[in-house]
Chains A and B, each alone.
Chain A
Amino acid sequence: MLRYANPARFMTLSGTLVPWLGGFALVALAAGVYLGFAAPPDYQQGDTVRVMFIHVPAAWTAMMAYGLMALASLIGLVQRHPLADVAAKSAAPLGALFTALGLITGSLWGRPMWGTWWVWDGRLTSFLLLLFLYLGYIALWNAIEDETRAARAAAILALVGAVNLPIIEFSVDWWTTLHQGESILRKGGPLIAAVYLWPLGLMALGYSLLFFTLWLLRIRTEIMTRRARSLMLAGEA
């Protein structure tokens, strides 16, 4: 794995991977959407169950992105490898996007049930805090001028957030039992019927593959930008 940490090797590998990942992502998403609308309305939720197929995958991808960002941060701190820092930095805006999509679709999923645009559901509240963690991370990167310093500071923040995230989720869960009883946005009920599992799985796969595609592209872009910058500086010398 660390062989590919060499930027040149990474560029070659990612160059081959990206079209395939992107292609598979599109296929999975198309199939998922089709099956999602072909499935019958849910006994309890009616047609709003179809929002689950875009809410849950967005949420899962957002969480996965944070995990990857934290992992990259750890590697960056310990190994001092600039590729890891770039990887962490590149993941953040994507993670924030998926979190925002998770929040919006969650709100639209909950609204028909509760009649308000925002519901203080445990899952949504945790996502809102996750979004703030992402935004803080991005803001910290942007606020510190020195690249290396910014990378290390952001890495510490990502790791502190990663440690705190399960605690935040636990406390929010605890809080909903205090105030509301059962969480309303259960993933489609205690048992998900097979007819819903397929579109859900395909959409989750599609979202994840899309994330990886965009992530690799962003890392590639950063590597190329840095190379161009150093070439220009060398040219001026």
Chain B
Amino acid sequence: MSGFWAMGDYGAYVWPAYGISAAGLLVAAVLVLHAHARAKAALARLGAKP
């Protein structure tokens, strides 16, 4: 199992690469979904359908 984390001594590169990619995509998704929900709510408050 430690071999998995070590990634053949390249762990310091592989894991940050995956980590940063996952973080970046996750943050983007959250921001986009949040903005979408907010716009939808704003329209609903004005009594209109999206």
* A–B proximity contact (CB within 8 A): yes
Query: A residues bordering B, Cβ < 8 Å?
Result: 11, 15, 33, 37, 41, 46-48, 50-51, 54-55, 58, 94, 97, 100-101, 104-105, 108-109, 111-112, 210, 214, 217-218, 220-221, 224-225, 227-228, 231-232, 235
Query: B residues bordering A, Cβ < 8 Å?
Result: 4, 7-11, 13-14, 16-18, 20-21, 24-25, 28-29, 32-33, 35-36, 39-40, 42-43, 46, 48, 50
Describe B's contact surface by its main secondary structure.
Answer: helix
Describe A's contact surface by its main secondary structure.
Answer: helix
In the bound assembly, the distance between CA atoms of A94 and B33 in angstroms comes to: 13
B17, A105: Cβ atoms closer than 8 Å: yes
* Top 9 closest pairs, chain A to chain B, by CB: A224-B39, A47-B7, A47-B8, A108-B17, A46-B8, A228-B42, A108-B13, A221-B39, A105-B17
Closest to A55 in B: B17
Chain A residues contacting B35 (CB-CB under 8 Å) are 218, 221
Known: A214-B28, A214-B29. A47 touches B10 (CB 8 A): yes
B46, A109: Cβ atoms closer than 8 Å: no
CB distance from B32 to the nearest CB of A (A): 5
Closest to A22 in B: B29
B20, A231: Cβ atoms closer than 8 Å: no
In the bound assembly, the distance between CA atoms of A224 and B4 in angstroms comes to: 46
